């Protein structure tokens, strides 16, 4: 009889333990339809793309039951890389870094992200052919081989912007037409104008004329020109052919590279400066006069570098 009671008690203990475990497991069970995890696969080696490259992001969604395994895509920096919210198609736009995020369409609390780096495309893009631009007014004497820039605001392809938005994703166009000048070597002031210069050296735009009259756009301004990514050799001319004007300290940077060092103006001085192999990685050649005073730019010549 004692043995029978012992067996009965043991059997009851096992049944109680089994019931307890079952209740605990039931309390922690996953809902019939649920997303338990989202993971984003690497877009490419080291999650790196070059400007202009395309790719498609993919996500691995772990789910139970009939929970949808689809995601919505987003990018933290759409100017660096765009992404189709439904398909995950990515286009690398400019050099920089962005976060690519996948969010479950079934459970918005389930997300996953990767950091994507966009770098310059190197030699995969053919540089823009050579071009020459002279600055000044519509009245300036024609210069063979040059396109005239009379100070029009940036139009998406070329033109003037505020210096503060140089290289920025969002540019602030700035009309600089009132800052254009033409020193006519045959005009009424010809006695004060240096003779014998090239036609393109008699025109100019005042990039940062803080002391100019209210009728002149004072800037400071920068100039941008749309080009393909690559390396370029540039020639820049600065100065004023009017011998009476010596109130400038000329300075020009192209893509942040010093082309015209800080140079105090002298009477009638107009001079060219050359710099080779300047890299453009964002699709725009940018010219600024940061650090200068009343810089007067006459023209710029741009040629693709021999070695890219």
Mean pLDDT of 87-103: 92
For 292, residues 6+ apart whose C-beta sits below 8 A from its C-beta are: 207, 208, 248, 249, 250, 251, 252, 262
What mean pLDDT is predicted for residues 111-125? 79
Q: What is the location of CATH 2.60.120 in the chain?
A: 124-304
Domain with CATH 2.60.40.1080 in the chain: 34-119
Residues 6+ apart with CB under 8 A from 150: 135, 136, 137, 138, 177, 180
What's the distance, CA 252 to chain centroid? 20
The answer to whether the predicted template modeling score (pTM) of the entire model surpasses 0.85 is no
Residue 6 confidence (pLDDT) above 50: no
Hunting for tokens 């398909």 — which residue is that? 87
> How many Cβ atoms are within 10 Å of 187's Cβ, its own excluded?
12
Mean pLDDT value across residues 255-270:
96
User: Of the CATH numbers 2.60.120.860, 2.60.40.1080, 2.120.10.80, 3.20.20.80, which one belongs to the domain with range 34-119?
Assistant: 2.60.40.1080
pLDDT bucket at 29, cuts 50 / 70 / 90: low
pLDDT band per the 50, 70, 90 thresholds, residue 270: very high
Residue 10 has pLDDT above 90, yes or no: no
Contact (Cβ atoms closer than 8 angstroms) between residue 58 and residue 44: no
Architecture of domain 124-304: Sandwich (2.60)
CA atoms within 13 A on the CB side of 34: 7
Q: Reply yes or no on whether the pLDDT at 122 is more than 70.
A: no
Q: How far apart are CA 212 and CA 84, in angstroms?
A: 49
| 187-199 confidence digits (pLDDT tens) | 999 999 999 999 9
pLDDT band at 254 (very low <50, low <70, confident <90, very high): very high
The residues, any chain, with a CB within 8 Å of residue 69's CB and separated by 6 or more, are 35, 61, 63, 106
């Amino acid at each position: 009889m004692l043995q029978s009671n012992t067996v009965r008690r043991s059997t009851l203990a096992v049944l109680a333990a089994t019931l307890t475990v079952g209740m605990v497991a039931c309390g922690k069970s996953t809902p019939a339809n649920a997303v338990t995890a989202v993971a984003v696969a690497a877009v490419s080696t080291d999650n790196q793309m070059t400007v202009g490259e395309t790719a498609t992001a993919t996500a691995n969604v772990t789910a139970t039951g009939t929970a949808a395994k689809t995601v919505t895509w987003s990018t933290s920096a759409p100017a660096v890389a765009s992404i189709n919210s439904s398909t995950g198609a990515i286009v690398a736009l400019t050099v920089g870094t962005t976060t690519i995020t996948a969010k479950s369409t079934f459970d918005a609390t389930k997300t996953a992200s990767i950091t994507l780096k966009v770098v310059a495309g190197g030699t995969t893009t053919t540089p823009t052919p050579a071009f020459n631009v002279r600055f000044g007014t519509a009245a300036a004497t024609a210069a063979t081989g040059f396109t005239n820039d009379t100070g029009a605001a940036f139009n998406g392809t070329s033109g003037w912007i505020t210096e503060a938005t140089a290289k920025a994703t969002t540019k602030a166009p700035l009309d600089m037409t009132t800052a254009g000048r033409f020193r006519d070597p045959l005009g009424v002031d010809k006695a004060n104008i240096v003779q014998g210069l090239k036609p393109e050296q008699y025109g100019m735009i005042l990039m940062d004329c803080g002391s100019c009259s209210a009728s002149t756009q004072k800037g400071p301004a920068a100039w941008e020109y749309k080009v393909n990514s690559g390396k370029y050799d540039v020639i820049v001319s600065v100065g004023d052919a009017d011998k009476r004007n010596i109130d400038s300290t000329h300075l020009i940077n192209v893509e942040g590279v010093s082309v015209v060092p800080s140079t105090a103006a002298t009477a009638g001085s107009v001079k060219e400066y050359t710099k080779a192999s300047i890299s453009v990685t964002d699709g725009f050649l940018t010219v600024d006069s940061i650090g200068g005073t009343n810089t007067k730019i006459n023209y710029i010549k741009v040629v693709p570098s021999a070695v890219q």
